[in-house]
Structure 1
Amino acid sequence: MNQLLRLLSVLRPWARPLSLGAALGLVGVLPACQTSVGETTSLYAAPKQPTATTLPDSAAAVAALPDSLRLTPLLPLAGVPDSLHQQIQALHASLGPEAAELRLEVLERACVGYLNLRKNGRVSKPGVLAVADMDMPSSEKRLWVLDLKAGQVLHRSHVAHGEGSGHLRARRFSNVMRSECTALGFYRTQDTYQGKHGLSRRLRGLDAGQNDNALRRYVVLHAADYVSKQHLARYGQAGYSRGCPALPPDQYRGIINTVGEGGCLYISGPGLESKWLDATVAAQQLAARGWR
């Protein structure tokens, strides 16, 4: 078992050391989020301890290895006019060190979608864009809230993905009811309410067939203990929601208030396609209105 812990410490340089129970039960952290019939409290499954019927040490070591940290290659968005690409590059540079891990290819898609949605009237809050790169591991701060006009990062935080989407990395995405998966695409931020998680903000999915069940699935922004500093320190990663982009308890209120009602949230991940990624329309909108 000591060999297993040494192996995990080598393969997990990005995380704090795990206890033996946490190492063997890394995938057993199963907090609940919200279901289609309302909210539930957070639940945790105790890490499973090895027994005589479990895998031998060598096989258990392989099974306990974390998901690969290599991000899925993302090709540049096709058909982006040079003028638009250069302005997004300049925006990326102005965001500074806090956005160094926000890939330019993800930011470009997020900005193109935001501009299309503004032109179409589907989002109404000007200049604020939230971007979550769900291809990154949940151990990393993979949510950014940006002020496009000022070129500033307003918030950066950890964010949970759905239990059905994977463990350290989200690999499966679904719009299906009760799938407990994260759904990719563009969202409009809706009204707020007070629930069992405290202040929460509803999300309306704007990509038909990909995330348009968000309201029916009760996919919302809310706080969760399984995204807290204490949970991350203990387990080396965030826990899992039931599809909600759950937020750290010490940051959720600021993020929810900043994105406001009528704002744009882009949840990025492998295989995402969206009708809102029309670079020609986006370039026209930016030329006419700027980031407003």
Structure 2
Amino acid sequence: MLIIKSLLLQCGVGLLLVTGCQLRADERPNGGLPLTQSIAAKPAVVAAAIPDSLALTPLPVLPGVPDTLRRAIRQLHTALGPAAAALRPEVLEQACVGYLTLHPTGRIERAGLLAVADMDLPSTTPRLWVLDLRKGQVLHRSLVAHGEGSGKLRATRFSNLEESACTSLGFYRTAGTYDGIHGYSRRIEGLDKGQNANAFDRYVVLHAADYASPKYIRQHGRLGYSRGCPALPPEQYKEIIASVRVGSMLLLSGPGLASRWLDGAAAGRRFSRHGWK
């Protein structure tokens, strides 16, 4: 009997590793129980008990950012044009400061490109941008889903825990691609200890999902939920995943983001020597 239970447990854990966050919120085994409950009989993570609102969370000014870099970021925002109108300047500043701080460490190998998602925006808003910093161009803008544990229309809770089904905030390095249950997908590695360092082990990846599409919004008034993955529209995912090749930077920004890479002074020094290279 003990041997049988052990085999069943191993199979369950194997299923979790294969699927990771990639089960749809409405496609669960065991009569609709979350996967974590079906394996370990643990209570589901409940999103923060506050009503959805369209009022965005104010972002504090990053300390230590020199005026020359702030002006350059404002000029970049203007150059990006209408496609970046909904990209808040404060979030763009976070992404640029993180990129400039990370790049010289060798953690980010691809120069001049970054992807940033403002997860404080409602899921009905295209809130992911892929940017060419040197050309001042928006390469892609798309919808992106948040985790089931993070909220409904708005993401109000973020977690690094394995069974949270939450989105994890912070800076990521893009890794290799593979063919999964959603087809062409890309692994991502969390670079912020305590905020997203478990992302790779949780199998948080970039992948396509039918619940991350305009059609789903028309039917349900919001996007569906992932198990923590930044899931992308089926119409755009291939181009987006291909553009953020291995070694690119991704920022998932949201309320409560704290990162060692938001070092304004270090970013200013890097920019004064090399610009966006």
For 2:175 and 2:25, the matched residues in 1 are separated by: 27
Distance 1:287 1:154, change over 3 A: same
Cα deviation for residue 83 of structure 1 reads 0.4
> Normalising to structure 2: TM-score of the pair?
0.84
Q: Give the counterpart of 1:116 among 92, 97, 101.
A: 101
SS in structure 1 of the partner of residue 149 of structure 2: helix
SS in structure 2 of the partner of residue 95 of structure 1: helix
Task: Give deviations 1:154-177, integer Å, cap 9, x for gaps.
Answer: 000000000000000001000000
Is residue 2:205 matched to residue 1:220?
yes
- Number of the residue aligned with 1:271: 256
Task: Give deviations 1:213-243, integer Å, cap 9, x for gaps.
Answer: 0110000000001012211111121100000
For 1:165 and 1:84, the matched residues in 2 are separated by: 33
- Number of the residue aligned with 1:38: 18
Amino acid at match of 1:37: L
Task: Give deviations 1:178-203, integer Å, cap 9, x for gaps.
Answer: 10000000000000000110000000
Task: Give deviations 1:57-92, integer Å, cap 9, x for gaps.
Answer: xxxxxxxx9711000011221121000100000000
- Number of the residue aligned with 2:72: 87
Q: Give the counterpart of 1:233 among 215, 218, 225.
A: 218
Is residue 2:173 matched to residue 1:188?
yes
For 2:272 and 2:145, the matched residues in 1 are separated by: 36
Instruction: Work out whether residues 42 and 225 of structure 1, in 8 Å CA contact, stay in contact via their aligned partners in 2.
Output: no
Instruction: Work out whether residues 94 and 152 of structure 1, in 8 Å CA contact, stay in contact via their aligned partners in 2.
Output: yes
Aligned residues: 241
For 2:130 and 2:60, the matched residues in 1 are separated by: 23
Instruction: Work out whether residues 36 and 218 of structure 1, in 8 Å CA contact, stay in contact via their aligned partners in 2.
Output: no
Instruction: Work out whether residues 134 and 276 of structure 2, in 8 Å CA contact, stay in contact via their aligned partners in 1.
Output: yes
Instruction: Work out whether residues 209 and 232 of structure 2, in 8 Å CA contact, stay in contact via their aligned partners in 1.
Output: yes
Percent sequence identity is 60
Amino acid at match of 1:112: V
**Counterparts of residues 9-158 of structure 1 (less than 5 Å):** 36-39=16-19, 41-42=23-24, 44=26, 67-158=52-143
For 2:80 and 2:16, the matched residues in 1 are separated by: 37
- Number of the residue aligned with 1:32: none
- Number of the residue aligned with 1:253: 238
Is residue 2:228 matched to residue 1:243?
yes
Instruction: Work out whether residues 174 and 189 of structure 2, in 8 Å CA contact, stay in contact via their aligned partners in 1.
Output: yes
Amino acid at match of 1:146: L
Amino acid at match of 1:250: E
- Number of the residue aligned with 1:58: none
Instruction: Work out whether residues 41 and 196 of structure 1, in 8 Å CA contact, stay in contact via their aligned partners in 2.
Output: no
SS in structure 1 of the partner of residue 242 of structure 2: helix
Cα deviation for residue 152 of structure 1 reads 0.4
SS in structure 2 of the partner of residue 245 of structure 1: coil
Cα deviation for residue 41 of structure 1 reads 4.8
For 2:268 and 2:235, the matched residues in 1 are separated by: 37
> Normalising to structure 1: TM-score of the pair?
0.80
Distance 1:76 1:36, change over 3 A: farther
For 2:58 and 2:130, the matched residues in 1 are separated by: 23
Amino acid at match of 2:163: R
For 2:228 and 2:105, the matched residues in 1 are separated by: 27
For 1:279 and 1:75, the matched residues in 2 are separated by: 13
Runs (4+) off by over 6 Å: none
Cα deviation for residue 249 of structure 1 reads 0.2
- Number of the residue aligned with 1:22: none
Instruction: Work out whether residues 36 and 178 of structure 1, in 8 Å CA contact, stay in contact via their aligned partners in 2.
Output: no
SS in structure 2 of the partner of residue 37 of structure 1: helix
Structure 2 unaligned blocks of 5 or more: 1-14, 28-49
For 1:229 and 1:221, the matched residues in 2 are separated by: 18
Q: What's the Cα RMSD here?
A: 1.8
Is residue 2:146 matched to residue 1:161?
yes
